[in-house]
Amino acid sequence: MHQGGYGMNAEASAILGGDPFPLSPTMRRPRERSSLRTTIDHQRSEFLRRCRARLEPEHVGLPREARARGGGLRRQDVAALSGVSASWYTWLEQGRDIRVSDDVLDRVSRTLRLSEDERVYLFSLVQRRPPPLEHMLTECPPDVERMLHTLPMPAVAMNLRCDVLAWNAINSVLYRDYGLLPPGERNLLEILLIRPVPTMSPAAQEAMARRLIGRLRYDFSRCPHDQKFEALLHRLVTHSPVFRKLWRSPDFALRAYGPHTFTHPRFGELTFEHTSYVPDGYPTIRVVMCVPQSDSAHRAMRIATEELAAARAGRPALTPPGG
């Protein structure tokens, strides 16, 4: 972890030092040559050949004469442009069981001009896992935001740092209107752990924080070059005793959400079940939906829905204030 440039004090450095949940080392594992394994290796070979064949020498600054017999780049040219030996790249393309680092796969991806989806597919074929995440989205994709506004329940879209990027109208009514906060102050963990949350008890805040931090530990390990992620952790360690305590724990979680009970200033105690999913094509975005679980939550959602519809239509709400 890079500690220079963030003014990290000794305590924060000690707490954050070292990978909290390190990526598996890129090392060769013994594998049985099953029919499935053979199929995946064949897919890798065909995929790399197809990507190599669609590039002409002129696309990468080579003379036309360097064109492969069947069209596209030659293996030795892909190897040279990727900084590896011709024999090593040949083994990779043939599906041999060889040691392949993330850096080398990224260089091959750049040489072959793979799209982000193709890069993820190549890592899955070779490493049996997605690549480290390089580009954290800081704006909500338009199609995801449109989908948010069609959902009947409160919902937000966040990136892996827990920066809230978009939310729907019913979330503003029942949870929080993030539009009232400056864009740089919409991080859910900072709101939960550094700024007061009067609608939640300290115990409820810590329980929710424990789940979020367990997931954050895993997500941080997938973003090894994200300096904003590291800066967020430094702020949390510096300003939140609860975060310092929970971050020292070795626990991690792939499911960060669950039941959430809080006191709404108008509707009283509400319980929602939080669930999330990652939209296709956006691996650094997570959509969190809040499904009502208590009778009071169902009632609050019904009233809020009616009032929002009335406001859009420019007419008074049909539901009286008392519900």
Per-residue tens of pLDDT for the chain, all 323 residues: 444 444 456 556 556 654 443 333 333 444 455 566 677 788 889 899 999 998 888 788 787 666 666 678 899 999 999 999 999 999 999 988 888 888 999 999 999 999 888 988 898 889 888 787 878 999 999 999 999 999 999 999 999 999 999 999 999 999 999 999 999 999 999 998 988 677 778 888 888 888 888 888 888 888 878 899 999 999 999 999 999 988 887 666 667 677 888 999 999 999 999 999 999 989 999 999 999 999 999 999 999 999 999 998 887 665 554 45
Q: Which of 221, 288, 219 is nearest to 258 (CA)?
A: 288
pLDDT value for 70: 67
Q: Is residue 164 part of a domain?
A: yes
Q: Is 183 part of a structural domain of the chain?
A: yes
Give the dihedral of Cα atoms 205, 138, 182, 154; nearest 10 deg.
Answer: -50
Strand partners, 288: 156, 276
- The number of distinct structural domains making up the chain is 2
Please report the pLDDT score of residue 3 as a whole number: 43
Distance CA 67, CA 52 (A): 11
Are both 73 and 146 inside the same structural domain? no
Q: Are residues 160 and 252 in the same domain?
A: yes
Q: 160 with 278, same domain?
A: yes
Enclosing domain of residue 28: 24-127
Same domain, 268 and 169: yes
Cα distance between residue 112 and residue 153, in whole Å: 43
Residues 28 and 174 in one domain: no
Question: How much is the pLDDT for 20?
Answer: 41
Query: 171 and 205, same structural domain?
Result: yes
2 within a domain of the structure (yes/no)? no
pTM of the shown model: 0.69
* Greatest C-alpha distance within the chain: 81
Distance in Å from the first CA to the final CA of the chain: 53
Q: Identify whether residues 199 and 285 lie together within a single domain.
A: yes
Contact present, 293 and 154 (Cβ < 8 Å): no
